Chain A
Amino acid sequence: MKKRFLKPTEDPLWLRLFLGAVAIAFIAILLLLPLALVFKEAFANGIGAFWIAIKEPDTLASVRLSLIAAGIAVPLNMVFGIAAAWCITKYDFPGKTFLVTLIDLPFSVSPVVAGLIYVLVFGAQGWFGRSLADNNIHILFAVPGIVLATIFVTFPFVARELIPLMADQGCDEEEAAATLGATGLQTFLRVTLPNIKWGLLYGVLLCNARALGEFGAVSVVSGHIRGVTNTMPLHVQLLYDNYDYPGAFTVAALLAMLALLTLALKSLLEWRYADELAAAHRH
């Protein structure tokens, strides 16, 4: 029998099987099993019970609040992310590295600390607490606080996605557009935006997923008022703590569905526009 040699980059069969098994076991135990359990528990009493649990007014209110928070935070962070990435990649100025570090701050700071910052600033004993109370403006334990906390934790997603992309693309096309007579706005809309649209979309999808799922920072500023300041993740905890397991799993399943939808959308876009994505990476 002819002896079969291994390629330099090929590992023995037992090792490949072993590594494959480890990877699959990890994914199964840590990712798939919990996800499956969430859906199993949510639909334990049938789809009818699932609908009834969703139609519960407090649950509906939490869904609405989460969508409002994400609906405000994501567009704002999109604008901010584009502006930050634009100014970091197209201009040179002192303190640029510091600005990049600042943008990353929400990633490195614990969300609980982020929430506490807002308590310190807007709380009754905080800097603006007195003047806000005098003017009857409610930020903490109200929707504005939740929106602010969500903005804070989702701050870096769009900028982080765009900075490497725009740095890699340089300013050549913008310069060409300027010499051809385009105004700044025309250059942005016709040249820059089409070049960054995929990165922007990724950033927005990730930002949206995090905005809907954020727990820590929002938990600190929310006050957990049922039906008023409870977002979906907070509502899951509240129901769970009250031994309402079917209700908790129903909302959890809803959150998981939103996450899966985001992933599906991302994969769909990648698959549908694979050619265009590849073309954009070529020079």
Chain B
Amino acid sequence: MSLTVDSVAKKFGRFPALNGASFVAPQGGFVSLLGPSGSGKTTLLRILGGLEFADSGSVRFVDLNWLDMPARTRNAGFVFQQYALFKHMTVADNIAFGLKVRPRNRRPSSADIHKRVTELLDLVQLSGLEARYPSQLSGGQRQRVALARALAIEPRMLLLDEPFGALDAKVRKELRTDLRRIHDHAGVTTVFVTHDQEEAFAVADLVAVMKDGRIEQYGAPADVRRNPTTAFVSEFLSA
């Protein structure tokens, strides 16, 4: 009952973005993929979300052959750095989207959808803003909407691609704390990509430090910080 990423490799043209990345995370764990730009962390996350396809390697999640499933059926909530909110929909419609597109037999009634949206707005502390459009929100509020939208589908997995990268330091800290609270509340397996080591260590149970498409070191934040196993990791962490 866990997430097992085994030797995942991916090339873009001739450029190898991933060179056999492997890690195992427990069900309900919170993993940070940490590394400089070009280390392959976003590519790995997008492969987990079904937005890119691996050239080789496998991913097992619980008892599912994860890479054989299309993005649509994975039920993995994805949060993008640039929010990717639906510009022409209100906050409430954005959050409800994943429920409204379900096939009729699995679609909640509109009353249930409304209830769920209200709960989620409460969870991400945006109550009262349901009728706004994304362009009328601040960056931090938009990312809260994106998080609520990803949680609305009751995801099996939550994937976040530098979600706080475009926000200022104070908002980042608030959102980070909220994300951890939401994760603990929902108990969903979470993979979080960042290049900010403070953020990675503060929020995750497990940190994977990546370099050149490989995972250099993987472990609990305290262990990684105390015992960097390679020169790269120790240099990266002291930077």
Give A contacts to B, CB under 8 Å: 172-173, 175-183, 186, 190-191, 194-195, 276, 279-280, 282-283
**Contact with A180, one of B51, B88, B101, B133 (Cβ below 8 angstroms):** B101
B77 at the interface (CB under 8 A from A): yes
| Residues on A with beta carbons closer than 8 Å to the beta carbon of B171 | none
Q: Is there contact, CB below 8 Å, between B101 and A195?
A: no
22 pairs, CB–CB < 8 Å, chain A vs chain B? A172-B82, A172-B84, A175-B78, A176-B86, A177-B101, A178-B72, A179-B74, A179-B77, A179-B78, A179-B159, A180-B149, A182-B72, A183-B101, A190-B97, A194-B88, A195-B88, A279-B87, A279-B88, A279-B133, A280-B87, A280-B88, A283-B87
| Residues on B with beta carbons closer than 8 Å to the beta carbon of A178 | 50-51, 70-72
Give Cα A173–Cα B133 distance, bound, in whole angstroms.
15
**Contact with B84, one of A175, A182, A280 (Cβ below 8 angstroms):** A175
Count of chain B residues with Cβ under 8 Å from any Cβ of A?
30
Q: Is there contact, CB below 8 Å, between A179 and B87?
A: no
B98 at the interface (CB under 8 A from A): yes
Q: Which residue of A lies closest to B82 (CB)?
A: A172
Measured CB to CB, the closest approach of chain A to B76, in angstroms, equals: 6
Give B contacts to A, CB under 8 Å: 49-51, 70-78, 80, 82, 84-88, 97-98, 101-102, 133, 135, 149-150, 152-153, 159
Give Cα A279–Cα B51 distance, bound, in whole angstroms.
27
> A175-B51, A175-B78, A279-B133 are known contacts. Are A180 and B84 too (CB-CB below 8 A)?
no
| Residues on A with beta carbons closer than 8 Å to the beta carbon of B86 | 173, 176-177, 190-191, 194
Give Cα A279–Cα B102 distance, bound, in whole angstroms.
28
> A172-B84, A176-B84, A280-B87 are known contacts. Are A182 and B101 too (CB-CB below 8 A)?
yes
Q: Which residue of A lies closest to B87 (CB)?
A: A280
> A172-B84, A175-B84, A195-B87 are known contacts. Are A180 and B135 too (CB-CB below 8 A)?
no
Q: Is there contact, CB below 8 Å, between A176 and B135?
A: no
Q: Is there contact, CB below 8 Å, between A180 and B80?
A: no
